[in-house]
Amino acid sequence: MVIDKFIDEKISQSIYYINAVLNHVLHPTELDEFISNTMDEWTLLKIQEEAPSNAKERVFWHVIHEVSLHGAHSLNDNLYFKSEITTCIDFFKGTGSYPVDCIGWRPLP
């Protein structure tokens, strides 16, 4: 399915970008640009259903919306935000449980 492939690809990329920002090997603006590009690519798919199809996708959209809202620089400035996003990354990697207070919905065009 197109959506699953898109989500899996973007999860892999988001893990890379977030870890690179956290490790100070990538400037936060690069993550912000990735988020913006991801949203642009999503609109090209013309998906009308706003409910994610599974927990992994729900966490993905939560991460995208939270980083978009707070800005990637907050990963280095806000310990609570860093912990929240790190918990989501651990969930993606299969080393953590589903994040508490995770509210992820697909953006509608």
Q: What is the pTM of this model?
A: 0.95
Residue whose pair of structure tokens reads 């090997």 in the numeric block: 25
Domain boundaries, the chain: 2-93
Q: How far apart are CA 103 and CA 57, in angstroms?
A: 11
Tell me the pLDDT band of 77, cut-offs 50, 70 and 90. very high
* Of 53, 56, 51, 54, residue with least CA distance to 96: 56
Q: How far apart are CA 96 and CA 68, in angstroms?
A: 23
Burial letters 51-60, b for 16+ CB under 10 A, else e: ebeeebbbbb
* Of 19, 41, 40, residue with least CA distance to 30: 19
User: For the segment 20-52, what is each residue's pLDDT rounded down to a tens digit?
Assistant: 999 999 999 999 999 999 999 999 999 988 899
